Amino acid sequence: MSFTDQIIKREKSEALFEEAKQYFPGGVNSPVRAFKSVSGPPLFIKEGQGCRITDEDDNQFIDFCCSWGPLILGHNNALIRERVIETVKKGTSFGTPNRLGNELGKLILHHHPYIDKIRFVSSGTEAVMSALRLARGVTGKSKVIKFEGCYHGHVDSLLVKAGSGLATFGVSTSAGIPEAFAKETIVIPLNQPEALEKALKEHANETACVIMEPVPANNGLLLQDRSFLQYVRQQCTAHGVLLIFDEVISGFRVGFSGAAGYYDIQPDILTFGKIIGGGMPVGAYAASHEIMGHIAPDGPVYQAGTLSANPVAMAAGLAALEQLIQEDFYERMAQKTHRFVETIEQFCLDRGYEISFPHIGSIFWIAFSNERILASDQIDPAGMEKFKVLHHELLQRGVYLGPSGYEVGFVSAAHTDADLDEAAEKICESLEVVFA
**Distance of alpha carbon 39 from the chain centroid:** 23
Cα 341 to Cα 190, 389, 404, distances in angstroms: 25, 20, 19
DSSP, res 133:
H
DSSP string, 230-296: HHHHHHHHHHT-EEEEE-TTTTTTSSTTHHHHHHT---SEEEE-GGGGTTSS-EEEEE-HHHHTTBT
Answer yes or no: 274 catalytic.
yes
Instruction: Given the residues 55, 114, 151, 336, select the one marked as catalytic.
Output: 151
> How are beta strands 143-147 and 207-212 bridged, if at all?
parallel
> How are beta strands 143-147 and 185-188 bridged, if at all?
parallel
DSSP, res 33:
G
- Rounded to whole angstroms, how far apart are CA atoms 36 and 103? 42
**AA identity, residue 95:** G
Instruction: Given the residues 63, 114, 143, 246, select the one marked as catalytic.
Output: 246
- Rounded to whole angstroms, how far apart are CA atoms 351 and 371? 17
Which segments of 123-191 does DSSP mark as H helices, in order? 124-139, 179-182
> How are beta strands 283-287 and 269-272 bridged, if at all?
antiparallel
CB 116 within 8 A of CB 288: yes
CB 371 within 8 A of CB 392: no
User: Which residues 6+ apart lie within 8 Å of 114 measured at CB?
Assistant: 257, 260, 261, 266, 267, 270
Instruction: Given the residues 141, 143, 146, 274, select the one marked as catalytic.
Output: 274
Three-state DSSP state, 149: coil
- Rounded to whole angstroms, how far apart are CA atoms 262 and 31? 32
Query: What are the respective helix, strand and coil percentages of the chain, to the nearest 5?
Result: 40, 15, 45
- Rounded to whole angstroms, how far apart are CA atoms 207 and 129? 16
Answer yes or no: 151 catalytic.
yes
CB 87 within 8 A of CB 100: yes
What is the set of active-site residues? 151, 246, 274
